[in-house]
């Protein structure tokens, strides 16, 4: 499970077997978890257990760090 980014308590990661899917990140914080697509644009697949404020913060962090998230996905999955 490649861990890509930990920021403000949010952990962005994906599973090696996920490379067959379109680019995305799983995210967790405490007991909450979710999955967001990062290509072709940031889009929520699901977010469970996050409060509305946390969802907004999570998406903001994903957007601010999209280059790093995408770069890591591509480096791992496109080799």
Q: At residue 71, what are phi and psi to the nearest 5 degrees?
A: -60, -45
SS3 content of the chain, % helix, strand, coil (to 5): 40, 35, 30
pTM, rounded to two decimals: 0.92
Orientation angle between helical segments 66-77 and 52-64, nearest 10 degrees: 70
- Per-residue confidence in pLDDT tens, the chain, 79 aa: 778 899 999 999 999 899 999 999 999 999 999 999 999 999 999 999 999 999 999 999 999 999 999 999 999 998 7
């Amino acid at each position: 499970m490649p861990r890509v980014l930990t920021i403000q308590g949010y952990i962005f990661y994906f599973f090696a077997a996920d490379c067959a899917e379109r680019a995305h990140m799983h995210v967790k914080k405490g007991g909450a978890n979710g999955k967001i697509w990062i290509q072709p644009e940031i889009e929520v697949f699901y977010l469970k257990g996050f409060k509305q404020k946390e969802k907004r913060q999570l998406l903001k962090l994903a957007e601010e760090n999209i280059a790093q998230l995408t770069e890591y996905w591509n480096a791992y999955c496109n080799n």
